[in-house]
Amino acid sequence: MNSQRVLPWIAGAIGAFIGGAPPAWAIGVTVTPDNPSGPDLGKVAQAPTTSSVWRVDGDTGEVSLLGGQAVRLTSGPASPPMITISCPIEKCRNALVTVALAPSGPGRATIVGFRPGTVTPKGLTLQSVSGAGTRQVTMTFLAGSVIPASASFALGMDVSLAPGRDSLGSMSSYMLNVVVH
């Protein structure tokens, strides 16, 4: 047996033994963000003693100021990260795929809420979203009978920029965790 076959088998056996689902990578599910550090808002000017909160819309990339005294000097939309979930193998047929999002680590800005955009399904159908607008979002998809299955969505977010920052650049990073049930 080669290592590519053994590792998923061992992970699946351990998951079954402890009563949990095997890790998604063990059965071939992948989640691919095209930009793991979030959208670039461009140049922002703000008061040196006041933070600002910005929203990047997950569907349009439109940027709006939610709070604080600041002006975005860059025109046009930002590009929210596009997340693609792929379930290419038979074990995904009729399975539930859960994707959890959370901020990870500091950056030039702090993610204060995730706002997933419209999901484009190709065999994975969005069943539920919990926590939208918060720092902990869970999305559950149902894989149908068509394999390979996938779904894509743009990840909008609300971010807080610390006082005195005049240029945002990329945000802080985020984590994606996937479980197949």
**pLDDT tens digit string along 9-67?**
333 333 333 334 445 544 567 888 887 777 788 888 888 888 889 999 999 999 999 99
Segment 76-100 shows an average pLDDT of 87
Number of H helices, E strands in the chain: 1, 13
Distance CA 117, CA 109 (A): 21
List residues bridging with 99 in a β-sheet. 139, 178
Distance CA 47, CA 159 (A): 16
**pLDDT tens digit string along 131-153?**
999 999 999 999 888 888 899 99
Distance CA 136, CA 17 (A): 28
- This prediction's pTM: 0.78
pLDDT over threshold 90, residue 171: no
**pLDDT tens digit string along 91-120?**
788 888 899 999 887 667 888 999 999 999
Can you give the residue ranges of every domain in the chain? 24-180
Distance CA 168, CA 181 (A): 39
Segment 154-171 shows an average pLDDT of 76
26 touches 15 (CB < 8 A): yes
